Copies of this chain bind each other. A is one copy, B any other.
Amino acid sequence: MERTDDRPDQASPPLPSLEPIRLVDQRGRRVDDPVHHSPDHAVLLRLLRGMVVGRRFDRQAGALARQGRLAVYPSSFGQEACQVGGVLAMRADDWLFPTYRDSVALVTRGVDPVGVLTLLRGDWHSGYDPNRYRCAPQCTPLATNAPHAVGLAHAARRAGSDLAALVMMGDGATSEGDAHEAYNFAAVWNAPVVFLVQNNQWAISVPVRKQSRAPTLAHKAIGYGMRGHHVDGNDAAAVYAVVSRALADARAGRGPAIVEARTYRMDPHTNSDAPQRYRDDAEVERWRARDPVDRLTALLRAEGRLDDAALAGFTQEGEELAADLRERMADEDAPDPDELFAHVLAAPTAQLTEQRAALRDEVRKEAGHG
C-alpha cells in the first residue's frame, strides 16, 4: 500500500538561471558555462548548415505563401537555432512532436519539404509518415501534442526502449491546461520527454508578459519537480548542448525537463498577420542583431573552421532545396475527393461508402457541365 507522510522526501530541483545559458554571445564569441560544454566543430558546422538550409527553405515557403501557393505559412525566421539545435540533439529513434511553426525542424529532421508543406498548402492535414520520420503530425491546437509525447515516451520506456521525445511548443501554448497536464504526467511517470518551449516573445499579438508572470518559462518546471533550463534560443550551440543533455538525462531515467529557448519571431505570425498593429519595428531590429546564423557564422569564421567555400556549399544546398521545392510545389494536381472518406475509420462504413458514391456522382456531373 502507498504511504503518505507529513513532510516532503525531496528538495526542489535548482531554479533555472535568469540569464539564459549561452555558449556563444551575440558577436560570435565563446562564453563559458559551468555545466554545458560547447559541441565540437563538426557539430557546430552541422548546426550552421542546418540553419542556412532551413532558412532558405523558410524563405522559399514564405514566397510560396505570398504567391498564394500555400494556404498559410507560419515562419520560422529567427528561430532556426531552436529548431535546428533541438532536432540535431535528437537521436534517430527519438520522436519529435512539432507544431505548425516548426517547418525548419521537420526539414532538419529529414522530412521531405513537400511533405512538410502539405498541411500549409492545404492538400491534406499532414504530409508525411509519422512512423517513418518519428515525427508526429504538425499540431495546431496549442499544447495538445504535449500529452501525446508523454504517452508515447512512457510506452516506449515501458517496452524497454531508451528513446526520448522532444515536444516543441510556443510561449503562448504554455498557458493551456494541456501543457500543465502533460508536464505533470511526464514528471509523475518519469517519462523521457523534453519540452522545448520556443519563447519567441509573441503569441500572435500577445507578448509573453501577458502570458506569464514567471521570471522565465523554465521556472514552470519547479512546480512539477522537474528540471527547467533557460537557454539563449539564438545560440544554436547552447540549444544543442542543453537539449542534448536534457534528452540524455531523460532517457537515463533522470526525469523529463522543460527547456525554454528565448528567441524571437522575426516575421509576422503568419503571412496574413499584421504585426504593425502590436509591435514596433525597433524591437524586430534589436533582435536582428542577435541573428542565430550570423552568430554561429562569426564564431566558426573566427575560429578558422568556416571558409567561403564551405559557406557557399551550405548556401548552394539551400538553393537546390528551394529550387526543387518550387518545382514540385508548382504541380497543381488537386487532391482526390475520394480520399475524404478513406481514413475516417479503418474500414469504410455503409454510411461513408454511400456518401462517397454521392460525391462521385456530383463530381461527375460537374465535370460533365464544365
Contacts and interface: CB of A to CB of B under 8 A. Distances in A.
Contacts of A213: 10, 187-188, 190, 224-226, 255
Contacts of A222: 15, 214, 219-220, 222-223
Interface in A193-222: 201-202, 207-216, 219-222
Interface stretch (A159-167, A171-179, A350-358): A171-179
Contacts of A11: 18, 215
A295 interface: no
Contacts of A180: 177, 179-181
Consensus secondary structure, chain A interface: loop
A368 interface: no
Copies of chain A in the complex: 2
Interface in A317-342: none
B224 A214 contact: yes
Contacts of A216: 8
A232 to B, nearest CB: 8
A103 interface: no
Given A2-B210, A12-B215, 20 more contacts: A1-B279, A2-B207, A3-B207, A3-B280, A3-B283, A4-B202, A6-B20, A6-B290, A10-B215, A175-B181, A177-B177, A177-B178, A177-B181, A212-B224, A213-B255, A214-B224, A220-B222, A220-B223, A221-B223, A222-B223
